[in-house]
């Protein structure tokens, strides 16, 4: 099998517009990568070995929050995640992000 060309590797800091990307795995992580890459102008193909969203994601309680953790390194991360959750909810009004 030939070595993959370095030209096919997308640096996460390089512009995505005009790129053709394949994202492997359609759980919450892959779906988010695919969605945001497409928003940034890439043409994205999202593939999954099974049914999209049927991996660990299907069992998630879908809790996002920063309650009870206001100090330490995880507090900032959780606060950012909460802000991103609200941003996504506003960006996708058709989705039941509650």
Binding residues with ligand FAD: total (CB under 6 A) = 20
Nearest to 10 by CA among 47, 37, 39: 37
Q: Which stretch binds ligand FAD (CB under 6 A): 10-18, 25-33, 37-45, 69-77?
A: 25-33
Task: Report the distance separating Cα 25 and Cα 47, nearest Å.
Answer: 6
CB of 16: closest distance to ligand FAD in angstroms? 19
Which residue in the set 50, 68, 93, 94 belongs to the binding site for ligand FAD (CB under 6 A)?
50
Give the residue, chosen from 23, 25, 34, 46, that forms a contact with ligand FAD under the rule CB under 6 A. 25
**Tokens of residue 62, six digits:** 């879908």
| Pair of tokens at residue 37 | 């890459």
Binding mask 5-24 for ligand FAD (x = CB under 6 A): -------------------x
Beta-bridge mates of residue 24:
47
Six token digits for residue 23? 């994202």
- 């330490």: which residue's tokens? 72
Position 68 contacts ligand FAD (CB under 6 A) = no
């Amino acid at each position: 099998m030939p070595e993959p060309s370095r030209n096919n590797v997308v640096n996460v800091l390089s512009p995505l517009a005009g790129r053709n990307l394949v994202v492997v795995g359609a759980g919450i992580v892959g779906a988010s990568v695919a969605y945001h890459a497409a928003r940034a102008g890439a043409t994205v193909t999202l593939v999954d070995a099974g049914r999209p969203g049927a991996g660990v994601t299907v069992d998630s309680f879908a809790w996002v929050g920063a309650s009870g953790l206001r100090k330490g390194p995880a507090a900032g991360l959780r606060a950012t995640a909460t802000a991103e959750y609200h941003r996504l909810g506003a960006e996708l009004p058709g989705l039941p992000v509650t």
